[in-house]
Amino acid sequence: MRYDNVDDQGLHVAINAHLVSFAQSYRNAGVSRYTYTLLDGLSRTPTDQRYSVFINRDEAKAASVGTLTGGGGRVEVVAGTQSTKRPAQRVLWEQMTLPRELRRRRVDACLARRS
């Protein structure tokens, strides 16, 4: 990855949060809870870093009203255009769509958790 814009605007970090779930079910455990807790902490930490958080379309509304949108505008929640609840859909998104989005948004680093 390139780091040529870090001095001007701070580090731009993308986080693949497609496994985050706000449902009261087994999906709101493990990697989902870990990723949400990480995002919540990052949104509260004073820094010049910016975050683009890619989230499943089906969870976007809950994310936009939660603590993920805090952080003084440093956290951008990016909703997917299609559901990625199924593993095959998510893998296709990760392999085809995510790389394009990272280039388009000029991201310096990307965190992608696996279940």
CATH code, domain with 77:
3.40.50
**Alpha carbon of 90 to those of 10, 18, 46, 85: distances in Å?**
29, 8, 31, 7
Question: How many Cα neighbours within 13 Å face the side chain of 75?
Answer: 28
50 in any annotated domain? yes
Number of C-beta neighbours around residue 47 at 10 A = 12
Of 22, 24, 28, 75, the C-alpha closest to 47 is 75
Residue span of the structural domain in which 38 resides:
6-112
61 in any annotated domain? yes
28 in any annotated domain? yes
Number of C-beta neighbours around residue 83 at 10 A = 14
1 in any annotated domain? no
80 in any annotated domain? yes
Q: Which pTM does this prediction carry?
A: 0.79
In the prediction, which pLDDT does 102 show? 96
Q: How confident is the model at residue 103 (pLDDT cuts 50, 70, 90)?
A: very high
55 in any annotated domain? yes
> What digits encode the pLDDT tens for the residues 46-93?
888 999 989 888 877 776 656 565 556 788 888 888 888 888 998 999
Counting the structural domains of the chain, the total is: 1
Overall average pLDDT of the 104-111 stretch: 94
> What is the percent of the chain with per-residue pLDDT over 70, rounded to a whole number?
77
Report the range of poorest mean pLDDT among 40-44, 68-72, 83-87, 103-107: 68-72
54 in any annotated domain? yes
46 in any annotated domain? yes
**Given phi > 0 = left and psi -120 to 50 = alpha, else beta, which region is 71?**
left
